[in-house]
Structure 1
Amino acid sequence: MDQLNYKEQQEFQKIVEQKQMNDFMRLYTNLVDRCFNDCVNDFTSNKLTSREQSCLNKCAEKFLKHSERVGLVFQEQNQLLMNQMRGTQ
């Protein structure tokens, strides 16, 4: 990144931020889709039942914890790869 001039660094940063936003939106969309399909099944009311609300809360919490864990494992694997590339395993 040091080889890039200021303008290139700014453009690179913008691309990274856009990718992060896309990743976040994909995660959010998957969470909503998955939890809605798993938990909401009564369309006779415009409000969630207590069972549906509880299911949604548990589903969202589980989904986010899973995503966080996957991210941590990815970071760990990335760090190992970087160390191997440097020869400092």
Structure 2
Amino acid sequence: MSIQNAKPIDDLELYELIVAAYPEKFDANSEDDIWDEVLEWAEEEFCDIDALSRLLGRLLYLTSPMQSAISGEYVHCLGKVDIKDGQANMVAAVSRRIAG
């Protein structure tokens, strides 16, 4: 899959990313239903929800580790990924690229 074919994220993924990215604004453990509040805030803040979903879909694609068919190493477009005990840790190296 190339980045041009990266799927936009859906509303639930958008909601979860916004709540995680703005903990000072949205309490994920709140008993109140904040779904509408989060999506309304995103629309006001970023204007075009569809464009934001497409952008975040591409960013998620870029941050997903992939296994190199040549070296077998897990690589990341922003650096090398080290996987230990099922956890992926990225070592930043902006010059590292994945051909798409």
TM-score by length of 2: 0.27
- Of Structure 1 and Structure 2, the greater strand share is in 2
- Of Structure 1 and Structure 2, the greater helix share is in 1
Higher relative contact order (CA 8 A, sep 6+): 2
Larger Rg: 1
